[in-house]
Amino acid sequence: MSEEWSDTEISTLLNDNGMRATPQRMAICKELLLKKCHRTPNELHEELCQRFPTISPNTVYLTLSQLESSGLIRRFYVDGQAIYDSNTATHDHIYCRVCKLLLDVGTENSIHTPKCTEEWSIEWGTRVWSGVCPKCH
């Protein structure tokens, strides 16, 4: 994936995955795909409200769900909260249970896929390490 996305590139990406390039959807993609980042649906909705004051949470949920079905983003949960991640490569996370900070983290040998599961088709995996960050102890 390139670091920079033009409007036409995002538009094409959406169309290639069977989605129409509406302004709302373009904005969601820019917010998520341009930066390799984590977002909750609610965080995204609040950010988008600045440019689209009437955008509904529903639209955000729906778009995120479609992007995930297309494999363009991943979803996982931390403390019961859905997190969408534009970094689709298998990687680990580290989570501070005090301040809720969530970061990508490198782990040695972390991308080994499971043993004893030849017959499964594994699509992806993520790990969350929980603890307390430097600032919180």
Partner DNA sequence: AACTAATTAGTAATAACTCCTAAATAAGAG
Partner DNA sequence: CTCTTATTTAGGAGTTATTACTAATTAGTT
* Residue 58 or 113 having the CB closest to DNA: 58
Per CB under 8 A, 18 contacts a copy of itself: no
Residue with smaller CB distance to a copy of itself, 34 or 136: 136
Neighbour order of strands in the sheet with 38-39: 38-39, 81-85, 74-78
Which range, of 16-24, 36-44, 56-64, 106-114, touches a copy of itself by CB under 8 A? 106-114
Closest-CA residue to 34 (of 72, 66, 61, 69) = 72
Closest CA to 101 of 67, 78, 75, 72: 78
How many Å apart are CA 50 and CA 56, to the nearest integer?
Answer: 12
- Where in 103-132 is the site for DNA (CB under 7 A)? none
Q: Closer to a copy of itself at the Cβ: 18 or 134?
A: 134
Per-residue contact string for residues 30-69; x = within reach of DNA by CB under 7 A? ----------xxx---------x-xxxxxx-xxx-xx---
77 counts as binding a copy of itself under rule CB under 8 A:
yes
CB-CB contact of 64 with 28 (8 Å): yes
The size of the chain, in residues, is 137
Q: What is the CA radius of gyration of the chain?
A: 16
Nearer residue to a copy of itself within complex by CB, 11 or 91: 91
- Using CB under 7 A, list all residues that contact DNA: 11, 14-15, 18-25, 40-42, 52, 54-59, 61-63, 65-66, 80-82
